[in-house]
Amino acid sequence: MSIDIKNLGGSLVTRGETRNTVTKKTSTHTDASNASAANPATADTLTLTDTAQQLLTELKTSLAEAPPLDQSRVDDLRNSIARQTYEVNSLRVAEKFLRLEGALTPAENSISDAQG
């Protein structure tokens, strides 16, 4: 993986000519402390590894296949929270945290279980 960053700042990000390259166009920034130094616009390049590109593709596919958001449910939850009437099921939250922890560190859990 190679990263070539010549100038931090700017705002426009566009895809480069190759599939794995993203180019960030930056513009000249001047402020009171640097008013006399004018730098020309530059382009920064970031090249993703094949693994990162594959993960990005999988993420895009997963998001495209995700079910649509139920905006009315979101609004109901937001209103319940705002009215302070939303009740948290602490047992359900704890179970989900344990399931998440198990999914993130399965090898570590089995080692500590074996050690006793």
Average pLDDT of each block of 10 consecutive residues along the chain (116 residues)?
51 42 50 50 86 94 90 95 95 95 72 53
The total of structural domains in the chain comes to 2
Q: Which residues lie closer than 8 Å to 20 by C-beta, 6 or more apart?
A: 47, 48, 49, 50, 53
For residue 72, the enclosing domain spans 68-116
Res 112: pLDDT: 53
- Residue 5 and residue 62 in one domain: yes
Residue type, 72: S
Res 59: pLDDT: 94
The backbone torsions φ and ψ at residue 46, rounded to the nearest 5 degrees and listed phi first, read -125, 125
- Residue 31 and residue 78 in one domain: no
- Distance (Å, rounded) from C-alpha 86 to C-alpha 80? 5
- Residue 62 and residue 96 in one domain: no
- Residue 72 and residue 60 in one domain: no
Tell me the two tokens of residue 18: 């190759």
Res 105: pLDDT: 82
Q: How far, CA to CA in Å, does 38 sit from each of 11, 28, 32, 35?
A: 18, 7, 12, 7
Res 43: pLDDT: 84
